[in-house]
Amino acid sequence: MTFVVLEDCIKCKHTDCVEVCPVDCFHEGPNFLVIDPDECIDCTLCEPECPVEAIKSEDDLTDDEQQFIELNAELAKSWPVITEMSDPLPDAEEWAGKEGKLSLLER
Question: What's the average model confidence in pLDDT over 74-101?
Answer: 97
> What's the pLDDT at 63?
98
Residue 74 sits in a domain whose CATH number is 3.30.70.20
| Structural domain contains residue 59 | yes
Per-residue H/E/C for 52-88: CCCEEEHHHCCCCCCHHHHHHHHHHCCCCECCCCCCC
Asked whether residue 46 is domain-assigned, the answer is yes
Instruction: Determine what percent of the chain is predicted with pLDDT higher than 70.
Output: 100
- The domain of 57 spans 3-83
Is 21 a member of any domain?
A: yes
Is residue 82 within 8 Å of 35, Cβ to Cβ? no
User: Tens digits of per-residue pLDDT, 4-47?
Assistant: 999 999 999 999 999 999 999 999 999 999 999 999 999 999 99
Looking at the domain assignment, is residue 106 inside a domain? no
- Whether 10 maps to a domain, the answer reads yes
Give the C-alpha separation, 82 to 99, whole Å.
25
Question: Above 90 in pLDDT, residue 93?
Answer: yes
Q: Looking at the domain assignment, is residue 93 inside a domain?
A: no
> Could you tell me the pLDDT band of residue 52, with boundaries at 50, 70 and 90?
very high
Q: 97 in a domain, yes or no?
A: no
Q: How many Å apart are CA 33 and CA 27, to the nearest integer?
A: 6
For residue 81, list its beta bridge partners.
27
**Count of domains observed in the chain:** 1
Give the per-residue pLDDT at 97.
Answer: 95
pLDDT band with cut points at 50, 70 and 90 for residue 1: confident
